[in-house]
């Protein structure tokens, strides 16, 4: 009996941490700013556990029955927490944070009740010093196990919804095991059995229908038909279609519309590459959709393109799905293209290659994981991989809607020693969008465009480098690894836009 209860401690500790991780990850995915979300979720959860531990002293009778009921409540509330948060966000976006913290607080209070009750049940079996050391040992081991399994196996392969429901089932399994172990000591055994199997059935049904629940939420979230969706270890990929318009969303953020993506990618590639007739080797960081690569391959002088994108699911999708392959014109299958799935910063640290033109096509710096790819440290690594007269181009968010963010990137590049040439273009799906060309020498935009384009012409390229008054330069700090000021700028400015 003692060993069974100690193993139960291992299980309930795993479940409790899993619910905490799900809440933090899902709030980061839906709201952005992962540091803030995880910090507030963890703080609320730990405080709630303290409240639960304090409340446990008021449970004085039928400890085993109360423990079983608490397990059922934890399993039900925690198990369906991801479903509830996802549905609330898609249908009732306004109270999402309130629901998030109420759920976290509720689960935390219940988890805080569990361990004190287990210790009081076990005190008849163990001396106090052994009781504390063994219970806490199994508690910490359970937390360790789920902290490893969650990012490596559970979240990428089961998704948030199924992971939550799975741990809910485990909580109920502990309740059923306790019901079996203490069957002779439970006056309300039949009622507890009915409650346990009812909750178990609800969780199993939820697990079986998790795909439909997720589809229901996403159908409401995305206005158009979802033709592809996948949760990878790195992000949530969703492709939608409305008539002939394909759209890619990463973590609920629009990345392109096939109706006007050519404007974005032509502006990203051609002003810089058209000025480098001797360019032979090109590096693309990000851009796993292959659309920037499509534009680069228009230059016959380019002999090799290296594409480094973190997510293999992204590059595999755009190398295999016929509508997406048609959109990038089979760019990722070209013999001139080498695809590498790796973290861009780590890859740059290990690389010894030199490139004549480097395209930085990362998502916007909405969190610190992305913000590190816009820091002075990252740009110093880039400088080491750039040939003597080579150029870098960086997509740099909107100089109109995120003005200080845009000029922060300019300031950061200049802090490293680059000469910069900022410019912008209108992309209807996004509005005015900003780019920066950087190199060791001053860049002067030339009225030349040697390849076929739909948007740019030799005459319009120099015009992109003129900024109206409402997008003109403003002061901004350098974005460094130890402060990531760009993420703060970005969050503050885009929050005003979406209100």
The catalytic site residues sit at 361
Residue with tokens 């003005």: 403
Contacts of 407 (CB under 8 A, 6+ apart): 399, 422, 473, 474, 475, 476
Handedness of CA 230, 236, 241, 245 (dihedral sign): negative
For the chain, report the end-to-end CA distance as a whole number of angstroms.
Answer: 56
Q: What is the C-alpha separation between 251 and 58, in angstroms, rounded?
A: 44
Residue 190: enclosing H or E segment and its boundaries? helix 189-208
Gyration radius from the chain CA atoms: 27
State the Cα–Cα distance between residues 3 and 212, nearest whole angstrom.
39
Beta-carbon contacts of 288 under 8 Å, excluding residues fewer than 6 positions away, are 307, 309, 310, 311, 314, 315, 318
Identify whether the C-beta of residue 308 lies closer than 8 Å to the C-beta of residue 342: yes
Label the pairing between strands 236-242 and 281-286.
Answer: unpaired
Residues whose CB is less than 8 angstroms from the CB of residue 427 and which lie 6 or more positions away in sequence, other chains included: 260, 261, 263, 264, 267, 433
- Kindly tell me the burial class for residue 350, based on how many C-beta atoms sit within 10 Å of its own C-beta (0-12, 13-18, 19 or more): exposed
Crossing angle (nearest 10°) for helices 2-31 and 96-122: 170
Concatenated DSSP letters of 325-353: HHHTTTGGG-TTEEEE-S-HHHHHHH---
SS3 307: strand
DSSP per-residue string spanning 384-420:
HTEEEEEEEEEE---TTTSHHHHHHHHHHHHHHT-EE
Structure tokens at 56: 């446990």
For the record, the structure tokens of 453 come out as: 């384009």
């Amino acid at each position: 009996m003692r060993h069974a209860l100690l193993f139960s401690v291992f299980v309930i500790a795993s479940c409790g941490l899993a619910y905490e991780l799900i809440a933090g990850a899902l709030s980061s995915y839906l709201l952005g700013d992962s540091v803030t979300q995880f910090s507030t979720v963890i703080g609320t959860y730990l405080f709630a556990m303290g409240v639960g531990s304090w409340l446990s002293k008021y449970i004085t009778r039928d400890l085993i029955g109360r423990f079983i009921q608490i397990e059922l409540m934890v399993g039900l509330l925690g198990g369906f927490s991801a479903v509830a948060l996802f549905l609330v966000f898609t249908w009732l976006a306004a109270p999402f944070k309130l629901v998030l913290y109420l759920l976290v607080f509720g689960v935390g209070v219940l988890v805080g009740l569990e361990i004190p009750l287990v210790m009081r049940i076990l005190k008849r079996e163990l001396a106090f010093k052994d009781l504390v050391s063994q219970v806490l040992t199994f508690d910490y081991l359970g937390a360790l196990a789920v902290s490893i399994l969650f990012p490596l196996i559970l979240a990428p392969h089961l998704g948030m919804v199924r992971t939550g429901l799975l741990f809910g089932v485990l909580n109920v399994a502990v309740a059923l095991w306790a019901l079996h172990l203490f069957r002779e000591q439970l006056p309300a055994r039949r009622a507890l059995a009915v409650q346990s199997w009812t909750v178990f059935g609800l969780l199993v049904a939820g697990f079986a229908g998790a795909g439909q629940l997720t589809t229901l939420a996403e159908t409401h979230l995305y206005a158009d038909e979802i033709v592809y969706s996948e949760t990878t270890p790195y992000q949530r990929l969703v492709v939608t279609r409305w008539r002939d318009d394909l759209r890619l969303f990463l973590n609920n953020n629009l990345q392109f519309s096939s109706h006007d993506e050519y404007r974005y990618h032509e502006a990203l590639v051609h002003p810089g590459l058209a000025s480098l007739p001797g360019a032979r080797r090109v590096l693309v960081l990000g851009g796993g959709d292959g659309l920037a690569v499509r534009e680069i391959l228009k230059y016959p002088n380019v002999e090799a393109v290296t594409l480094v994108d973190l997510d293999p699911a992204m590059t595999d999708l755009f190398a295999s799905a016929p509508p997406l392959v048609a959109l990038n014109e089979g760019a990722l299958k070209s013999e001139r293209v080498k695809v590498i799935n790796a973290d861009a910063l780590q890859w740059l640290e290990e690389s010894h290659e030199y490139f004549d033109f480097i395209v930085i096509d990362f998502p916007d710096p909405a969190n610190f994981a992305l913000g590190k790819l816009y820091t002075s440290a990252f740009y110093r690594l880039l400088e080491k991989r750039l040939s003597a007269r080579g150029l870098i181009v960086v997509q740099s968010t909107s100089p109109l809607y995120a003005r200080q963010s845009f000029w922060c990137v300019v300031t950061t590049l200049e802090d490293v020693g680059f000469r910069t040439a900022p410019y912008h273009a209108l992309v209807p799906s996004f509005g005015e969008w900003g780019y920066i060309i950087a190199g060791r020498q001053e860049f002067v935009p030339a009225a030349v465009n040697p390849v076929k384009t739909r948007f740019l012409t030799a005459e319009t390229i120099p015009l992109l480098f003129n900024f109206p008054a409402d997008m003109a330069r403003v002061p901004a700090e350098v974005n460094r690894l130890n402060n990531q000021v760009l993420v703060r700028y970005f969050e503050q400015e885009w929050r005003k836009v979406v209100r």
